[in-house]
């Protein structure tokens, strides 16, 4: 198959592990909710400094793995950890992981530094010291094979599955043909589509894994008494979870599925991957993802430098670390919320554009964002981040046949 001429960006920021970032950010990481105020104060007023963290006081392997992946994300150039001092998070381990990646890293322990004001002052001084180094960072060409794009839908309505979601699917086909990596989620919103996905799997074993993981999601949601179908979906004209699933599935395009990963697990190479966000075993952590930003964080932890977010009802969220491109499915929503949206896919519904035209527009915008253009959520200052207690077991060899 010939590869179309897609040039996502001229240059990005090379990292020691071979990946290339499209942003060069400093992240300030709170390691317990008691340190969040201080972390926010350190980052206040600085557009290139983002705050992420874990609010829990007790250890959680999922949260540790997620922060390891996020602190060493290709869009991150420097890391400042903020600890209260008595929480259960292993700050020394996270410091070693970040240092081994070649990034500047420091840790501020509030109880040792001397309280709120002293820690904020020390944190701001450290960030100022890093600014000139980050500004002078060398760049390197960013090829399609270096690009990882994730997608998520939020606030879906009856227009999502006929405009924005298939637009993303067609863009994904083009990106994968060009050698890029694409990631879609989540198994709880793909119930009823598992056989279609299994038929696209690169091996029969992977197909069976996909079916099993969607069945696991159905069992989990049944036990919780709550499916991935919100009142707003129904108000927007969706009638069943299966109808919502068909729309969500269309975001994946038509190319072969190369593998399945779980939160915090690295993607092994170019291709199309499914992110399974549902924990193994009996429900013990509550709803698998409590909101869209929890899912976005997991997409980014897989390595996505940019996230494409489709919405029919309208969503204003962005994210820390990776830019979020908003594709609005409903033309009425776009007219009401144009400042929060990047692309009006609702033009398809009104006959003002074709699917392929909007897909080309999305590809061009991804290229521009990879080259430094701000998305609507970036311009507005959105940097949402959510990380809660959860569990995630790495997907086994059958889920990643191309990694063998």
In tens, the pLDDT along 181-223 reads 999 998 888 988 999 999 999 999 999 999 999 999 999 988 8
What architecture does CATH give domain 25-135?
Answer: 3-Layer(aba) Sandwich (3.40)
∠ Cα 288 175 77 (to 5°): 65
Tell me: cis bond preceding 136? Omega within 30 of 0 counts: no
pLDDT at 180 over 60: yes
Which residues make Cβ contacts (< 8 Å) with residue 238, sequence separation at least 6?
A: 156, 157, 158, 229, 244, 247
The predicted-structure confidence for 300-344, as pLDDT tens digits, reads as follows: 999 999 999 999 999 999 999 999 999 999 999 999 999 999 999
Alpha helix locations (H) across 44-115? 61-71, 91-100, 110-113
Both tokens of residue 204? 């029969």
Main-chain dihedrals φ then ψ at residue 327, nearest 5 degrees: -110, 110
pLDDT at 11 over 90: no
Contact 257, 197 (CB under 8 A): yes
The predicted-structure confidence for 344-355, as pLDDT tens digits, reads as follows: 999 999 999 999
The predicted-structure confidence for 73-117, as pLDDT tens digits, reads as follows: 999 999 999 999 999 999 999 999 999 999 999 999 999 999 999
Query: What is the pTM for the complete model shown?
Result: 0.94
Which residues make Cβ contacts (< 8 Å) with residue 172, sequence separation at least 6?
A: 149, 151, 182, 184, 251, 252, 253, 255, 272
Q: Where in the chain is the domain with CATH 3.40.1400.10?
A: 25-135
H or E segment to which residue 196 belongs = helix 194-200
Contact 364, 377 (CB under 8 A): no
The predicted-structure confidence for 344-385, as pLDDT tens digits, reads as follows: 999 999 999 999 999 999 999 999 999 999 999 999 999 999
């Amino acid at each position: 198959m010939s590869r179309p001429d897609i040039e996502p960006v001229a240059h990005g920021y090379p990292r020691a592990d071979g990946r290339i970032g499209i942003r060069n950010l400093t992240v300030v990481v709170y390691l317990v909710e008691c340190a969040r105020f201080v972390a926010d104060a350190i980052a206040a007023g600085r557009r290139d400094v983002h705050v992420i963290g874990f609010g829990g006081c007790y250890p959680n392997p999922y949260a540790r793995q997620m922060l390891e992946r996020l602190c060493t994300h290709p869009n991150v150039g420097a890391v400042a950890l903020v600890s209260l001092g008595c929480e259960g998070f292993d700050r020394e381990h996270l410091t070693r992981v970040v240092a081994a990646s070649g990034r500047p890293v420091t840790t501020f322990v509030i109880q040792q530094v001397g309280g709120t004001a002293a820690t904020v002052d020390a944190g701001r001084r450290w960030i100022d010291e890093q600014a000139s180094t980050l500004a002078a960072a060398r760049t390197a060409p960013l090829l399609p094979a270096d690009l990882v794009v994730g997608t998520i839908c939020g606030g879906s309505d009856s227009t999502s599955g006929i405009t924005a979601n298939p637009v993303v699917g067609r863009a994904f086909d083009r990106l994968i043909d060009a050698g890029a990596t694409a990631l879609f989620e989540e198994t709880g919103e793909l119930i009823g589509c598992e056989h279609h996905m299994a038929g696209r799997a690169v091996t029969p074993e992977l197909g069976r894994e996909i079916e099993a993981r969607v069945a696991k999601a159905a069992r989990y949601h049944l036990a919780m008494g709550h499916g991935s179908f919100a009142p707003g979906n129904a108000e927007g004209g969706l009638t069943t979870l299966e109808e919502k699933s068909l729309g969500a599935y269309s975001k994946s395009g038509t190319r072969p599925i190369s593998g399945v990963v779980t939160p915090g697990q690295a993607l092994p190479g170019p291709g199309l991957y499914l992110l399974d966000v549902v924990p193994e075993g009996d429900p013990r952590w509550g709803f698998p993802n409590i909101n869209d930003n929890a899912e976005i964080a997991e997409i980014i932890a897989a390595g996505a430098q940019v996230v494409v977010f489709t919405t029919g009802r309208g969503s204003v969220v962005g994210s820390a670390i990776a830019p979020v491109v908003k594709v609005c499915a409903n033309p009425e929503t776009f007219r009401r919320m144009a400042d929060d949206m990047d692309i009006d896919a609702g033009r398809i519904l009104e006959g003002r554009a074709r699917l392929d035209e909007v897909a080309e527009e999305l590809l061009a915008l991804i290229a521009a964002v990879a080259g430094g253009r701000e998305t609507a959520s970036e311009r507005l200052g959105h940097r949402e981040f959510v990380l809660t207690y959860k569990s995630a077991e790495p997907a086994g060899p059958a889920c990643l046949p191309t990694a063998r």
